[in-house]
């Protein structure tokens, strides 16, 4: 009876998701396994043989506002490439799923940062520096929820909300979707300006560039894609983007990671970040 229980327990541990899949031997660098089929599925078997780099995270303590209390200690990183795209599988522990925006509520998220140019003189790992920009692919849990089907409506965040009337729902506009959209934009200046912090979107990932703290801006290309899923212990997110220009076996690059836990009030500069790690093509 006891041996049956033990076998059952081991079976549960084996099947407990990627976090408990195996004992992790961390590589010192992020090794990109080439010749693979790119997938957004964090549970695909393609990831099984891919070496894992355990990225040690530290508090962002360079600029105010700082993160004064540490949260996510490490992030598991895997990388594959098909010769055109590079995909990162990123997994970390997070007890809570934070994907509902609101006052004093913050979103789980993760970001991958690469130097914009492969150069021995690398930018500062904290968001780059003037003249030495970095490219960032940023995934957020609330964007994932929207892509996965959450409605663009206040009741999807507050199920008991009963808004009495919106001007764009006025009777004269009801058969004119264009006029409705135009009226709605008048009360959503951020959307009117194309600042898609929330609202309808097709990708849970955003491409950004930066030349130092406070300079984050939309990137010239929207080429990153991604998908995040909850694991039993946190998040597993896959982010894909084109291979960095000039990146090859002979010409390695650098990479850095940042992670935000919404339940820990982490947002913007309040984050757990890494320094640069070598990104090597295998």
Partner 1 sequence: MARVYNWQLGREMSYWYPESRASKQFAAVFDINKCIACQTCTLACKTTWTSGKGQEYMLWNNVESKPYGFYPLAWDLKLLEMLDGQKWNEGGEKPVYEGSTIFESAPAGERVMGWRPEDEDYAYPNVGEDDCAGGVDGGANIFETHDMAWFYYLARICNHCTYPGCLASCPRGSIYKRPEDGIVLVDQGRCRGYQECVRGCPYKKVFFNMMTGTSEKCIACYPKMEQGIQPQCFVNCIGKIRMAGFINPPDKANPENPIDYLVHVKKVALPLFPQFGLEPNVYYIPPIHVPTSFTKQMFGPGVDAAVKTYREAAANKDDDLTGLLGLFGSSEMLMERWKRVGDKIIGLDAAGKQIVDVPLKEPVVERPAFDKLYQITRTNCP
Q: What does the per-residue mask of binding to partner 1 show for 78-117, with x meaning CB under 8 A? A: -----------------------xxxxxx-----------
When asked if residue 187 is in the footprint of partner 1 (CB under 8 A), the reply is: yes
Single out the residue of 270, 267, 259, 264 nearest to residue 235, CA to CA. Answer: 259
Residue 155: phi and psi, rounded to 5, are -70, -15
Specify the length of the chain in residues. Answer: 282
3-class DSSP state of 207: strand
CA distance 209 to 127: 8
Considering only 132, 191, 230, 282, the residue that binds partner 1 (CB under 8 A) is: 191
Point out which span in 18-26, 39-47, 163-171, 224-232 binds partner 1 (CB under 8 A): 163-171
CA distance 52 to 73: 16
Q: What does the per-residue mask of binding to partner 1 show for 11-50, with x meaning CB under 8 A? A: ----------------------------------------
When asked if residue 198 is in the footprint of partner 1 (CB under 8 A), the reply is: yes
Considering only 20, 33, 117, 213, the residue that binds partner 1 (CB under 8 A) is: 213
Q: How many CB atoms lie within 10 A of CB 69?
A: 10
Pairing of strands 30-33, 74-81: parallel
When asked if residue 249 is in the footprint of partner 1 (CB under 8 A), the reply is: no
When asked if residue 190 is in the footprint of partner 1 (CB under 8 A), the reply is: yes
Tell me whether the omega of the peptide bond preceding residue 267 falls within 30 degrees of 0, making it cis: no
Considering only 15, 28, 83, 167, the residue that binds partner 1 (CB under 8 A) is: 167
Single out the residue of 88, 79, 15, 16 nearest to residue 51, CA to CA. Answer: 79
When asked if residue 178 is in the footprint of partner 1 (CB under 8 A), the reply is: no
Residue 172 vs 194, nearer CB to partner 1: 194
CA distance 2 to 198: 52
Single out the residue of 34, 10, 26 nearest to residue 282, CA to CA. Answer: 34
Considering only 1, 5, 25, 68, the residue that binds partner 1 (CB under 8 A) is: 68
CA distance 75 to 116: 23
Shortest separation between residue 67's beta carbon and partner 1, angstroms: 8
Considering only 15, 28, 214, 246, the residue that binds partner 1 (CB under 8 A) is: 214
Interface with partner 1 by CB under 8 A: which residues? 61, 63-68, 101-106, 152-154, 157, 161, 163, 165-167, 184, 186-199, 213-214, 216, 265, 267-269
């Amino acid at each position: 009876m006891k041996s049956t229980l033990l076998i059952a327990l081991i079976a549960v541990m084996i099947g407990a998701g990627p976090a408990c899949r195996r004992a992790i031997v961390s590589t010192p660098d992020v090794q990109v396994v080439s010749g693979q089929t790119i997938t957004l599925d964090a549970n695909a078997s393609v990831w099984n043989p891919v070496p894992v780099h355990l990225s040690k995270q530290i508090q962002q303590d360079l600029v105010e506002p700082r993160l004064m209390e540490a949260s996510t200690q490490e992030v598991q990183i895997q990388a594959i490439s098909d010769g055109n795209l590079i995909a990162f599988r990123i997994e970390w522990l997070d007890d809570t799923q934070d994907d509902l925006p609101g006052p004093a509520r913050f979103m789980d998220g993760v970001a991958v940062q690469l130097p914009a140019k492969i150069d021995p003189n690398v930018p500062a790992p904290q968001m780059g520096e003037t003249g030495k920009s970095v490219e960032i692919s940023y995934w957020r849990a609330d964007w994932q929820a929207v892509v996965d089907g959450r409605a663009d409506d206040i009741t999807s965040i507050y199920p008991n909300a009963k808004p009495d009337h919106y001007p764009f729902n006025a009777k004269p506009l009801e058969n004119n979707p264009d006029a409705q959209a135009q009226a709605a934009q008048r009360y959503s200046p951020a959307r009117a300006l194309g600042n898609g912090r929330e609202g309808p979107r097709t990708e849970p990932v955003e491409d950004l560039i930066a030349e130092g703290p406070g300079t984050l801006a939309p990137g010239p290309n929207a080429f990153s894609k991604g998908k995040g899923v909850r694991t039993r212990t946190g998040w597993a997110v896959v982010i894909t983007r084109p291979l960095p220009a000039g990146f090859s076996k002979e010409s390695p690059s650098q990479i850095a990671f940042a992670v935000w836990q919404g339940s820990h009030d982490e947002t913007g500069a309040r984050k757990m970040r890494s320094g640069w790690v070598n990104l090597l093509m295998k």
